Amino acid sequence: MKELLVKLRETVASRLDQRNGDDAPGTVRASVVDVRARTMKSGGYRWVLLVTALAALYYALLASDRYVTEAQLYVKSTKGSAPTVPELSLLTGGSSQAQDALLLQSYILSADMLRILDEKIGLKAHFSGRDWDFWSRLEADPTEEEFLDYYRNTLSLSINAESAILTIQGEGYTPEFSQAFVQAVLEESDRFINGVNQAIAKQEIAFVEAELGRARGQVDDVRARMLAFQNENQILSPEATGAAIQSVVNQLEGELVRLQTEQKTLASYLNDTAPQLVDVNTRIDSVKAQLAEERAKISSQDTQSINEVYADFKELELELKFATDMYKAALTGLEQARVESYHKMKHLVVLQSPGLPDEALKPRKLYNLATLFVVLSLAYGIVTMILATIREHRDV
């Protein structure tokens, strides 16, 4: 601090010398030296000592001890762990465990977590107790913002960038409360992770189940239309019916050829009125009529033919096959979603459980007193030197 004040004094004096000109370059510098001597002899510095002494009395007589409990945890994924090489995690876009730790850190410091902890272990009642010193304790009736700020000051969170380990340090005026404080944070953190897992799994599975239900509905609809089509046309399978009709047509055509051959043979030596020839002609007419009727079933202009029925039935079959394939795909997707949801599950691994502290780590009395003394001395010296230098400059 002494060296800093000397440098500051010389800098100010040099600038004032430059403003006054080169005719008396050492006048102001000498004045500053005299001012420094008078300043060190003045009683203003006693205020620095007085404030430091009051702070020492506060820490010695009034300040309440605060105990610190530490715990370490790690958010592990079921699917696998993060890359063990830090450079590899950078190439792959960062560790998912680190992102999970950041998410958990945000939740721990949230107002929701504070509300749960206050209901569970009574944070407000503990930190606003009359047994603790007025400076460090919480107000008796704080606002939500004040309570949240105080809560965040009593809970320290840090994340290791490489291992994604989250370290939690909680304070309390008693060893038992600091341990219960951190233990409650761990329990609620585990509940939060499990809740997130269940919410994500439910959303994914609910979506796939909805798709499965939609696919099942399409299958049932096509089957109902196909059944109605079969009942309306009184056929089981248009393809089988068409094949049967075609077989009958082929048989009738063969019978017609045989009868026509027999007719020609009989007509070569019998007259047209011969009973045998008349019988053959009658049978030929009967076969032709039946053949025409069967052919009409296959293709008819007046009524729906078997070909049209077959075409409509094939279209329904294609719809049923497509709907069935979609249903199978949705069923497979449901199983995959269940497996994937399991792989995405996170687990809270506690690496260090909260223990019962043996001694109070806060407040850091000697460190705080030393810091206060140095800061006050530095501020006093800077302000005093600036004011004194300006005053001497006016006198010159």
**Would you give per-residue pLDDT tens digits along the chain (396 residues)?**
445 445 555 655 565 455 444 444 444 444 444 544 454 455 667 888 888 888 888 877 778 889 999 999 998 877 644 443 343 343 333 457 788 889 999 999 999 999 999 999 999 999 988 888 888 888 888 999 999 999 999 999 999 988 889 999 999 999 999 999 999 999 999 999 888 888 878 888 888 888 888 988 988 898 888 888 777 776 656 565 656 666 777 787 787 788 888 788 877 777 777 788 778 888 888 878 777 776 666 555 444 556 677 777 788 888 888 989 888 888 888 888 787 777 677 888 999 999 999 888 888 888 888 998 899 888 888 888 888 788 777 665
How many Cα atoms sit within 13 Å of 374 on the Cβ side? Answer: 8
Neighbours of 156 (CB within 10 A): 13
pLDDT at residue number 306? 61
Burial 109-126, CB ≥16 within 10 A → b, else e? eeeebbebbbeebebbeb
As a whole number of angstroms, the distance between CA 29 and CA 14 comes to: 7
pLDDT at residue number 109? 95
pLDDT at residue number 333? 83
Nearest Cα to 353, choosing from 190, 191, 192, 198? 190
- pTM score, two decimals? 0.59
What architecture is the 66-201 domain classified under in CATH?
2-Layer Sandwich (3.30)
Nearest Cα to 215, choosing from 321, 120, 86? 321
In contact, 6 and 382? CB cutoff 8 Å = no
In contact, 274 and 253? CB cutoff 8 Å = no
